[in-house]
Structure 1
């Protein structure tokens, strides 16, 4: 885990940045207005997983407890062809649906994770999920920057659609072209294009030393979705999400640069999961790792109690 120093941090995006985002891509500015106004939040010192929780780590949890995820219990997960669809059998063990697996990707971030799944793992590990403010502070530090490494987008620092495509994705048409090419390179069920956790370290790390805070998988936080005090100009839909949805952060391998910014907020229903949603854990204090036990694939503390 990495230690994130306590103190005051700028949370949210400055208005000028949101103007620039609106001017360089096709979506309405109101979609991003819930990132403002920028404000300060004080957080206590905490520890954060350096990497998202991996398939190997999540397997250790399920082996120890017999836990079954929300997707496993309901019998389907969300995958994407030309739209999001319910795919029978898709879950963290079979991320692209039947015929896909994780045997060859133990070090990839686990996906198809709903909020209850992330909380159950964190409790078993003796940890918790980070708050939204903690997550953002760990992503860009005390001072604001749109990406963990700074103010300029550099696709080679993160696992996003831009990196996979080898070009800047700045329109739905360009994204669809990339996606069709991505699908054509696979046979049978599509497999998610996550990469091993920490692949882009250290060049993509945050100031706190956390990896994959932009791209790879979208990550759950512990907070219910709330508009920032004084927010204006946002899509009216957001009023209906307050208190009912939870916040995801960080973008994912399918998203563009603007969707992998440190201030981008996604409101998820608590039972939502797909092949691009994962998580990482936080802790207020950390016990020294036991010799020879580093948590089955996580560079973090070992599991300490059962759920």
Structure 2
């Protein structure tokens, strides 16, 4: 999707301390309409022989109520050796590190978006709280995102999906530029390094997060070599 350049007010004065509002400007860029799926990542691995950080390490991190190191968890076995991707071709890939995400994007002649680009694509120029506007994700009985309705990071079945949902399952939640799942489903890696922590910024919130974490201005971060079962990929490009 072509996203026009522009200036916007980034952040949220009512949000977290690291969301201090500031004026930001982005040049025109491209951003994938959907999050990268398991099928797309499988094709990349088949073409390149890429081995993910979790596969090299022999374990991944899974959220059954707290982050837990699980031997054998990786993108093909997202929750551990007993899990499978059967029926999940169109769900977003998870258990991919920042380095894995960068490799995928580069293979396709793309890159990861900066967090300024990501936030602009998620909310546009009108200062909306969520990609679709200011209404809560489930307000009025309309489900706009895949998120946790219980306490933060507690998955539930209220939308018919225990964890991830097929990409594009919530058309009522698209951003001003027609981008799907910019809130919820899985967090998305950005190219932006958080100087204070030395970690890379992830955006968007995931399947287990509450609405506070789905706000377009909300920031979180993760080490570049660590993938989680709630973090995926969306690539950007230049026109």
Question: Do the two structures share a fold, i.e. TM-score over 0.5?
Answer: yes
The corresponding residue for 2:148 is 161
Offset at residue 82 of structure 1 (A)? 3.1
| C-alpha distance in 2 between matches for 1:192 and 1:101 | 14
Q: Which residue is 1:186 aligned to?
A: none
Q: Does 1:248 align with 2:202?
A: yes
Distance 1:80 1:195 in 2: 16
Q: 1:4 matched to which residue of 2?
A: 3
1:213 aligns with 2:182: yes
For the 8 Å contact 1:95–1:192, the answer to whether it is kept is no
Q: Deviations over 1:63-109 (max 9, x none)?
A: 00000110011000011223211111111101111121112110000
What is the aligned partner in structure 1 of residue 228 from structure 2? Answer: 274
- 1:192 CA displacement: 6.2
CA distance in 2, matches of 1:40, 1:272: 31
Gaps of 5+ in 1: 19-31, 163-168, 183-190, 227-238, 286-307
Work out the number of aligned pairs and report it: 233
Note the aligned Cα RMSD (angstroms). Answer: 1.8
CA distance in 2, matches of 1:120, 1:139: 23
1:38-187 to structure 2, matched below 5 A, reads 38-155=21-138, 156-162=143-149, 169=150, 172=151
Higher strand share: 2
Q: Which has the larger radius of gyration?
A: 1
Give 1:193's match in structure 2, choosing from 157, 160, 163: 163
- Do 1:161 and 1:255's aligned partners in 2 also have CA atoms closer than 8 Å? yes
Partner of 1:23: none
Residues 91, 223 of structure 1: CA spacing in aligned structure 2 closer, same or farther, 3 A cutoff? same
SS in structure 2 of the partner of residue 86 of structure 1? strand
Q: Secondary structure at the match of 1:157?
A: coil
1:231 match:
none
> Aligned partners of 1:81, 1:160: CA distance in 2, in Å?
15
82-91 or 126-135: which moved more?
A: 82-91
Distance in structure 1 (CA, Å) of the matches to 2:162 and 2:190: 22
Q: Write out aligned runs for 1:216-235 (5 A).
A: 216-226=185-195
More helix by share: 1
Task: Provide the C-alpha distance between the structure 2 equivalents of 1:143 and 1:82, rounded to a whole number of angstroms.
Answer: 36
The 1:258/1:86 distance shift into structure 2, 3 A limit, reads: same
Q: Distance in 1 between matches of 2:32 and 2:133?
A: 21
- Runs (4+) of structure 1 exceeding 6 A deviation are none
Paired residue for 2:238? 284
Structure 2 segments unaligned to the other structure (5+ residues): none
Equivalent position SS for 1:121: helix
What is the rounded CA distance, in whole Å, between the counterparts of 1:193 and 1:253 in structure 2? Answer: 6
For the residues of structure 2 that align with 1:41 and 1:154, how far apart are their CA atoms? 26
Q: Say yes or no: does 1:263 pair with 2:232.
A: no
Q: Secondary structure at the match of 1:138?
A: helix
SS in 2 for 1:64: helix
